[in-house]
Chains A and B, each alone.
Chain A
Amino acid sequence: MASVNSQNQACYVQKETAFATIPNSTGTATVGNSNACRIIKLGTDQVQNLIDRPDKLPTLDFTIGIGGRKSAQWNASMSLAGSGVAGTKPDCDPFLEALFGKAAVVVASTSVTYDPDDTSPTLSIYNFRKPSTASQACAFGSIVNSGKFSLGQDVATVEFGGESYWVIDTTQFATAAADAKGGLTAFPAEPAAPVTNGNMVVGFTGAVTLDGNVYTTLRTANINFDAGRELPKDVFNNYYPDSPAQDRRNITCDFSLYDDDSANLASLKNKAITNTGVTLIFQMGLIAGNIWTFTLRNVRLAAPKYDDGQRKFAVNFTGKAHATSASSKDAIKLQIT
Chain B
Amino acid sequence: MIVRFIGTVAEIGFGSVADFKYFGQSADLPESLYREAVLGSCGILPEPDFNAIGFTPQELKLYANPGARQSAPDEFRAKYKRAIDKLHANREALENPPVQPSKLAPTPATPQSSAPKS
The judgment on whether A and B are partners is: yes
Binding site for B on A (CB under 8 A): 32-36, 83-91, 93, 108-109, 192-199, 286-290
* Nearest chain B residue, comparing its CB with the CB of A93: B41
Whether the Cβ atoms of A198 and B10 lie closer than 8 Å is yes
Whether the Cβ atoms of A289 and B12 lie closer than 8 Å is no
Binding-face segment, B1-9, B97-105, B107-115:
B1-9
The binding surface of chain A is classed by DSSP as loop
- Select one of A33, A109, A193, A287 contacting B8, CB under 8 A: A287
A25 to B16, CA, bound (A): 28
10 A-B interface contacts by CB (under 8 A) = A34-B41, A83-B43, A84-B66, A88-B43, A88-B91, A195-B40, A195-B42, A198-B7, A287-B70, A290-B66
Whether the Cβ atoms of B85 and A109 lie closer than 8 Å is yes
Whether the Cβ atoms of B70 and A288 lie closer than 8 Å is yes
* Nearest chain B residue, comparing its CB with the CB of A197: B10
Knowing that A85-B8, A194-B14, A289-B43 touch, tell me 4 more A-B residue pairs with CB under 8 angstroms: A34-B36, A85-B84, A89-B41, A91-B40
Does B11 touch A at the CB level, under 8 Å?
Answer: yes
Contacts of A288 in B (CB 8 A): 66, 69-70
A193-B17, A198-B9 as given contacts; A88 in contact with B37, CB under 8 Å: no
In this complex, the member of A33, A195, A197, A288 whose beta carbon has the largest number of chain B beta carbons within 10 angstroms is: A195
Contacts of A286 in B (CB 8 A): 70
Number of A-B contacts (CB under 8 A): 105
- Select one of A89, A108, A195, A287 contacting B10, CB under 8 A: A195
Whether the Cβ atoms of A85 and B87 lie closer than 8 Å is yes
* Nearest chain B residue, comparing its CB with the CB of A33: B36
* Nearest chain A residue, comparing its CB with the CB of B38: A34
Binding site for A on B (CB under 8 A): 6-14, 16-17, 33, 36-37, 39-43, 66-67, 69-70, 81, 84-85, 87-89, 91
Whether the Cβ atoms of A109 and B37 lie closer than 8 Å is no
Contacts of A36 in B (CB 8 A): 40
A108-B88, A287-B70 as given contacts; A34 in contact with B8, CB under 8 Å: no
A290 to B10, CA, bound (A): 13
A193 to B39, CA, bound (A): 13
Contacts of A33 in B (CB 8 A): 12, 33, 36-37, 40
- Select one of A87, A197, A289 contacting B88, CB under 8 A: A87
Whether the Cβ atoms of A34 and B39 lie closer than 8 Å is yes
- Select one of A34, A85, A93 contacting B6, CB under 8 A: A85
A322 to B12, CA, bound (A): 41
Whether the Cβ atoms of A88 and B41 lie closer than 8 Å is yes
Whether the Cβ atoms of A197 and B41 lie closer than 8 Å is yes
A85 to B43, CA, bound (A): 6
A87-B88, A287-B8 as given contacts; A195 in contact with B66, CB under 8 Å: no
Contacts of B7 in A (CB 8 A): 83-85, 88, 197-198, 289
Contacts of A197 in B (CB 8 A): 7, 9-11, 40-43
A337 to B12, CA, bound (A): 23
* Nearest chain B residue, comparing its CB with the CB of A91: B41
Contacts of B13 in A (CB 8 A): 192-194
Contacts of A34 in B (CB 8 A): 36-37, 39-41
Minimum CB–CB distance from B86 to chain A (whole Å) comes to: 9
Contacts of A108 in B (CB 8 A): 84-85, 88-89
Minimum CB–CB distance from B30 to chain A (whole Å) comes to: 9
Whether the Cβ atoms of B9 and A84 lie closer than 8 Å is yes
Whether the Cβ atoms of A32 and B36 lie closer than 8 Å is yes
* Nearest chain A residue, comparing its CB with the CB of B89: A108
Minimum CB–CB distance from B75 to chain A (whole Å) comes to: 17
Contacts of B8 in A (CB 8 A): 84-85, 198-199, 287, 289-290
* Nearest chain B residue, comparing its CB with the CB of A36: B40
Minimum CB–CB distance from B55 to chain A (whole Å) comes to: 16
Minimum CB–CB distance from B37 to chain A (whole Å) comes to: 5
Whether the Cβ atoms of B42 and A287 lie closer than 8 Å is no
Contacts of A88 in B (CB 8 A): 7, 41, 43, 84, 87-88, 91
Whether the Cβ atoms of A35 and B40 lie closer than 8 Å is yes
Whether the Cβ atoms of B11 and A196 lie closer than 8 Å is yes
Whether the Cβ atoms of B9 and A199 lie closer than 8 Å is yes
Contacts of B9 in A (CB 8 A): 84, 197-199
